[in-house]
Structure formats: structure tokens, C-alpha cells
Amino acid sequence: MDFPTRAVHAGQQPDATTGAVIPPIVLSSTFAQETPGVHKGFEYSRTGNPTRQRLETALASLDGGRYGLAFASGNAAAGVVLKVLSPGDHVVAGSDLYGGTYRIFEQVLRRYGIDFSYANPNDSAAFAPQNNTRLIWVETPTNPLIQVSDISAIARQKGAALLVVDNTFASSYLQNPLELGADIVLYSSTKYLGGHSDIVGGALVCSDEAVYERLKFFQNAVGAVPSAFDCWLLQRSLKTLHLRMESHCDNAEAVAAFLQAHPKVERVYYPGISDHPGHAVAKRQMRRFGGMVSFELAGDLNAFFRALNLFTLAESLGGVESLACHPASMTHASIPAEVRLKNGVKDNLIRLSVGVESATDLVDDLDQALSRAP
């Protein structure tokens, strides 16, 4: 079945008891057992819940995977993946990555004897594993410089290491890392999968049964699972993912073209631009180029942010409404300034999550805000 059909129907069979086209939310925390250990597939909602199971079925289907796991946040999902590591293990990750991920790596796990190194996202060979490399961690497109890594090229050299791809910026509609050789796909489902800025969630998708069983064990043991209501909201949102992503992409292309031509913009980061370093790779491994655009402003940042009307200054991304973010002081503030600057995240960088409003209105809003940024 094609993606739109799976988005609407995967995990959404009518309720067997009532015939309800939309299955009911199961809020029960515990489930009756006929005799000790004998039950109808559910015993306790941390371990498994019918509403979460339907969502996990849908998540797996949309990424072309066999298994899906839902979590209370993207960081919770990342934390479960990282629990496969032991002291002495090594992780190689792209140098341009979400500040929260860097914080887990450097401020939480490094003190447990786990080593991390960072590779240029545009250089596939730089991700080559060492003898003790257990995970290769790839964001593509990256946060916040919208760089593109070649998943297939990295997968070909991964050896025994697990290749984890944070697919949050692309979504399962635009990119399917499992088909390109990844072992685990990670999402902050708060973003495009949720799409309405009203839930916080995370997700993992994989196809290897042994990998799934390990991750499932940690999901249950750690317990960072979403509520049944949040699972229901997220599955509802997945049904329109393909429609929303097409609109996000249309608008981002218009915004990027406008910014490229503006005299107060020093540089635009968007893989849909033909001279973007990752344009060819993005064209090959993505359906379209996404809804995230970053740019460097030659003007007063605070004046620009204050003048915006439709773009809201806020963290997060992927909602139907457009957001503007200053990575250096917001999403990436946990990364030391010298590290940010070394990786190219300048203090005048602005990250836009381009929503689904009228492209003309969004361009007009940026135009008037730039005019007020001396």
C-alpha cells in the first residue's frame, strides 16, 4: 500500500466490540488476568497498552519497519537506544546535532566511561567505526544547519556497529532510513509526526527482532512511555502527515528562495538549493527537501524577532504554525560556545520551522521583519 493509505489505516482497524471506526482510547493502567500470568496480551500499561500498540503498529508501517516503540519524548527514545552501551564503548556522531542529544552524550554518558567522537556530516568516511564503536549516530537533515548525510554510504561501512538515524527533520514521509541501511530510526514525535505542537513524544522503529527485543526490554524497564491519550493524539496526527509535509515543503522552498535574494541575509541553509553541499544526496534519499530553513542574519536579531507577526519565537519545530528559533541561546545553548562556533553554528544563525500557512503571507512577514532589523 502507498504511504497515504498506510497513514490512514495502519493500526486503525474498527473496534471489534463496538464497530467504532476510530478505536477507543484504553486508559486502564492494569488488565484482568484469568489465572496468574494468563491474560489477553496486556497486563500493565507501562509494559503494553492497546492504544499504544496501535500507534506502534502505525509507526512501524510508515517507516517500512517491522517494529515500532513509542516513548514519552524524543530524549526518552534516545536514552533507551543509548542503554545498549557499556563502559568502554564508543559512539561516532555527526558534529551538527540537536543540543539535547549532545547534552546526553557529554554531560550524562561520558562520565560512565563511554567515549564519543564527532564527524563532519558531509563526509561519510568520517563515520567509519573504531574497534570499540557500538553506535553510529546520524541526524539528517541536521539540527540546526540542515546538512545532509549519505545514509547508504555510512551504512556500507558500519560493520558490527548499529546505525541510528534521527529522522525527526525529515519524517517518515520524506525519508525512510531503514531502506537505506539504518538499523534504528529515531524520532522526536513532538515534531512533524505530531505536527500540532500539542503533544510531547518520541519513537523508535527497527526491523531486526533481536534489536527490537533489547529496546523493548529497556522501554519497559525504564518506563518512559507515553500516555494512552497522547498515543491516540499522535496516531490521529499521522493520518495527515503526508498532506502536511507537502505543504511544509512548498512553503519552505518559497521562503528559502526569498531569503537567498535578500540583502540582509548572509547565508541560507536549505538542501533544496542547488548549490547546497548535500543537495544531490538529499535529492536521492529524500522525497522532498523538508520544511526547515536556517539562515544567517546581517542585522539586529532582537529587532527581527520582535517584528515577526506570523513566525512565533519559540523552541521546537514541525507544527502547522511557523516558528523562529535562535539556536545559540535556545535549542543549542547546552553546547559550549566554542564547540558551537567550531561546528558552524554562529550567533547570528536563525532557524525557521516553516508552517502550512500561506507562503505569500510567510514571505511578507519575513520581509517586513527584515526591514526592521538594522
CB-side neighbour CA atoms (13 Å) of 225: 27
Determine which one of 63, 96, 150, 166 is catalytic. Answer: 166
Burial of 5 (0-12, 13-18, 19+ CB in 10 A): exposed
Instruction: Name the DSSP letter for residue 95.
Output: S
Instruction: Name the DSSP letter for residue 291.
Output: S
CA angle 86, 340, 181 (to 5 degrees): 50
Determine which one of 6, 52, 54, 98 is catalytic. Answer: 98
In order of 66, 226, 243, the CA distances from 231 in angstroms are: 19, 7, 20
Would residue 216 show up in a list of annotated catalytic residues for this protein?
Answer: no
Determine which one of 54, 134, 158, 191 is catalytic. Answer: 191
Would residue 283 show up in a list of annotated catalytic residues for this protein?
Answer: no
Determine which one of 46, 66, 267, 283 is catalytic. Answer: 46
Number of DSSP helices (H) and strands (E) in the chain, helices first: 13, 12
Q: Annotate 261-290 with b (16+ C-beta within 10 A) or e (fewer).
A: ebebbebbbbbbbeebebbebbeebbbbbb
Would residue 166 show up in a list of annotated catalytic residues for this protein?
Answer: yes
Would residue 66 show up in a list of annotated catalytic residues for this protein?
Answer: no
Residue matched to cell numbers 552501551: 85
Instruction: Name the DSSP letter for residue 68.
Output: E
| Cis ω for the linkage preceding 4 (within 30 of 0) | no
Residues noted as catalytic: 46, 98, 166, 191
